Chain A
Amino acid sequence: MKKNGVKMIKIKAKDVDVFYGKKQALFNISLDIEENQVTALIGPSGCGKSTFLRCLNRMNDVIDICSVKGEILINDFNINDKGCDVVRLREKIGMVFQKPNPFPKTLYENVSYGPTIHGIAQSKQEMDEIVETSLKKAALWEEVKDRLHEPGTGLSGGQQQRLCIARAISVRPEVILMDEPCSALDPIATAQIEELIDELKKEHTIIIVTHSMAQAARVSQNTGFFHLGQLIEHGSTDKIFKNPDNKKTQDYITGRFG
């Protein structure tokens, strides 16, 4: 996709290798992510797509035995550099997880968590505004505006996931990573989240890992297909789904394996 005729690249991954202990999980991944677009990562279970996603905000640091090699440039800055401030990075790159994981706090505290720890809001009013806009953007405001001070764990699954999205966008990240955000949700909640993703891409670059090919086709502009730790093919979603170059991609898309 092109914007004003120029492809805007937000994230540039170059030769990324990931190891869990001695086992190599990702081989030589090079992938460009376009700004303000939705990029879907698809592939069978265990192919490394989630691992790759977690490289982008260095969540793999949390796992002791995991090591990442290669360059990942975000705004031309290598996040695997020693000088990279992980806290700053994660403020810019938000993440939504597979299972909704609201904190056992009130709805308000869930959304204000990020702005509080990063000192974004100067006053109570400002914080109220951030919470309101974030919840509105996450299409949750109307449902919860009267019970902001009730625990976030009391919501339904779909609402919880939208709360997690509100939490993620509260610090205005440039990129939002979504790791199978709909796999724990019913079709209606899934449709809501997909609609939301479409809305969010105006302001954020979105990378979504999904098991549902239909979902990838619906929400994304670009798609990358992973298999056994390798990036087999990537390109525009249209092309990948209609006319893939690689036979493996073709087979996976048409449901012959995976």
Chain B
Amino acid sequence: MNLILFTFIVLLGFTSYYFGRKKAYTIQSTKKRLTALPQFYGYYLAIWCAIPAFIIFSLWAIFEPTIVKLLILSDYSNQGYLDDELNLIYEKTKALSRGQFTGEITPFIEASAEKYLSLRSIAQSSKVVIVLSAIIASVAYAYKRISSNSRTREPVEKFLNAVLFTASLAAILTTVGIVFSLIFQTIDFFKVIPLFDFVFGTHWYPAKAFVRDSSEALDPTMYSDTFGAVPIFAGTFFIAFIAMCVAIPIGLMSGIYLAEYASYKVRQYAKPLIEILAGIPTVVYGFFAALTVGPFLKELGTSMGLEVSAESALAAGGVMGIMIIPFISSLSDDVITSVPQSLRDGSYAMGATKSETIKRVIFPAALPGIVGSILLGVSRAIGETMIVVMASGLAANLTLNPLESTSTITAQIVVILIGDQAFGDPKTQAAFALGMSLFLVTLCLNIVALKVVKKYREKYE
């Protein structure tokens, strides 16, 4: 029923577009000057036809269940039921009305189910009536406006403005929602685990919390040595550091080569090839690290008499670095290319060689942009999950030896949330706390990166 009504509104919208336009042509044929292009008349009519109807339609869809529920449950008020019991009664009623109820049917429920069905059908038919009358009223209004040849362009523009605003509002609200859910869960977590233990504790062993029998009451002392985040923070930054050691020199140098040295032809082929690296799914990098690089490093280390874990920070960090190369190379290439040619000419005219020009003029001029690209690369490295989960092990060792395995914030979140978990359990909430800290770190990095990039832009515009 809803689908039919919905389709009907859409079709009606399209039809009114044609009627609106046709009306415009009719006005035109009477030698009157139109106030806008004919399609604006069409848009105007279509908007008035469909939008009020849609708004009523959606509001109805949102509020109908609540109102029906209130009406049904009003029969049970003053009988001393608890909220949970009332909910149960309502669910039973709905199930019975759909014929899916299998339990014992009481006359009360049966009566409610009948009432439910009748309410639903009243609601349906009144919805159709109201939506249709809304369409008729608004179309009549709009058609009158068109016929009197009043202005249609501004209302259509205003409507587009509103649509775009709604879209950005949706994006912002989603972000805010996610952040708030992170914040609330994190606060709950820190009610059980002291902030101090989380930030300065050196022992991370969330599996310990998992062993607890969930019927027991929470005992904070039990977790005192369980959620110390230092090892995974250290691991995160350590692996990111290894990654940047690979990505910055290679990315920067290839960026400089592409921007300054490569001929047009080389650049044409090399740039897309490097950017393909950015298109490889991270899970592919992950098993490349875990199945190729890791064992290779282990063998290499063994032949040199070193003890290398098959899941080493070096393997994960190195492969992550390769993944980040295209970001840095492509961004710094863009930044270097956008340094004005006049600066290059000025330097060459002073008798500087190419490398002197790059080192002394172009690089300093492009530095803010390059720093920005590096910071974006770092926040990628810190947020990267798949490679670490697959290649660097899940044990949170506190170590600075790149040949041992370490773990990162993202990998630990995966570990915590795989399998069964209960809401309200500190172990699950630990994931939110970790997510929150990760979010804060990357947020700061992104803010700094954007600031730096903005500063750079101001210089040339």
Contacts and interface: CB of A to CB of B under 8 A. Distances in A.
Interface of A: 57, 59, 62, 64, 86-91, 94-95, 97, 99, 101-105, 113-114, 117-118, 153, 164, 167-168, 171
Given A113-B360, A117-B360, A153-B459, A101 B351 contact: no
B347 interface: yes
Given A64-B263, A113-B360, A101 B350 contact: no
A167 B350 contact: yes
Contacts of A118: 351
By secondary structure, the B interface counts as helix
B456 to A, nearest CB: 10
B345 interface: yes
B346 A103 contact: yes
Closest 9 CB pairs of A and B: A90-B351, A95-B349, A101-B342, A91-B351, A101-B346, A114-B350, A87-B351, A104-B365, A117-B352
Nearest to B456: A104
B344 interface: yes
B109 interface: no
A89 B353 CA distance: 12
B356 interface: yes
Contacts of A88: 351
Nearest to A114: B350
Interface in B371-394: none
Contacts of A167: 346, 350
B301 interface: no
Contact of B350 (A104, A105, A168): A168
B129 to A, nearest CB: 70
B206 to A, nearest CB: 50
Contacts, number: 69
Given A103-B361, A105-B364, A117 B351 contact: yes
Most B C-beta atoms less than 10 A away, residue of A95, A97, A103: A103
Most A C-beta atoms less than 10 A away, residue of B263, B349, B360, B459: B349
Contact of A101 (B263, B345, B352, B364): B345
Contact of A171 (B342, B350, B353): B350
Contacts of B364: 103-105
Given A101-B340, A104-B459, A113 B350 contact: yes
Contact of A59 (B263, B345, B352, B353): B345
Interface residues of B, number: 21
A153 B343 CA distance: 12
B438 to A, nearest CB: 36
Interface in B312-359: 340, 342-353, 356
B351 A99 contact: no
A242 to B, nearest CB: 34
Contacts of B360: 103, 113, 117
B349 A94 contact: yes
A64 B265 CA distance: 12
A62 B348 contact: yes
A99 B343 contact: no
B263 to A, nearest CB: 7
A171 B342 CA distance: 20
A178 B231 CA distance: 63
Contact of A164 (B346, B352, B353): B346
A88 B352 CA distance: 9
Nearest to B361: A103
A88 B347 CA distance: 13
Contacts of A105: 361, 364
A153 B364 CA distance: 14
Given A103-B365, A104-B365, A117-B356, A90 B348 contact: yes
